[in-house]
Amino acid sequence: MIQFLYVFVGGGLGTLMRYLISLLLNSVSLPLATLLSNIISCVILVLFVFFSQKFNLHDNLRLFFIIGVCGGLSTFSTFSYETVQLLKTGYFYYAFFNIIFNISFCLSVIYFLVKKL
C-alpha cells in the first residue's frame, strides 16, 4: 500500500512542476511548455536511473521518481493534442517541428546522458 503513496505524491509533484512550467511559458503561442516538461522529465529519469544503480536506491524511490514525478511531468497526451491543434489550424510546419523536436530532443537527452553517466 505504501507504494501507492509514493506514486501519488511523486505524481502530484510532477504535475505541479508541469503546471508551473506552463504558467511560465503561457504567453508563448507554440507548445514550448510541453517540450520543456518532456525534456526535464527525461533528464530526471536518466539521473535517477544513474543514481539508483550507483547507490542502490530503494524501489520506492523508483516508484516516486520514474512513475510518479516523470509520469506527472511528461505529457504525451498534451503533446499529441497540441500537435493536432496545430494541424487543425493550418500550422503544418509548426506541427511537424513539434513532433520532430519532442521526439529528437527527448531521445537525444536520454542518449547523451546515458552515454556520459
Percent of the chain with pLDDT over 90: 91
Q: What secondary structure does DSSP assign to the chain, as a single string?
A: -HHHHHHHHHHHHHHHHHHHHHHHTTT-SSSHHHHHHHHHHHHHHHHHHHHHHHHT--HHHHIIIIIIIHHHH--HHHHHHHHHHHHHTT-HHHHHHHHHHHHHHHHHHHHHHHHH-
What would the pLDDT profile of 83-109 be if each residue is shown by its tens digit? 999 999 999 999 999 999 999 999 999
pTM for this predicted structure:
0.91
Q: pLDDT digits over 31-66, tens only?
A: 999 999 999 999 999 999 999 989 999 999 999 999
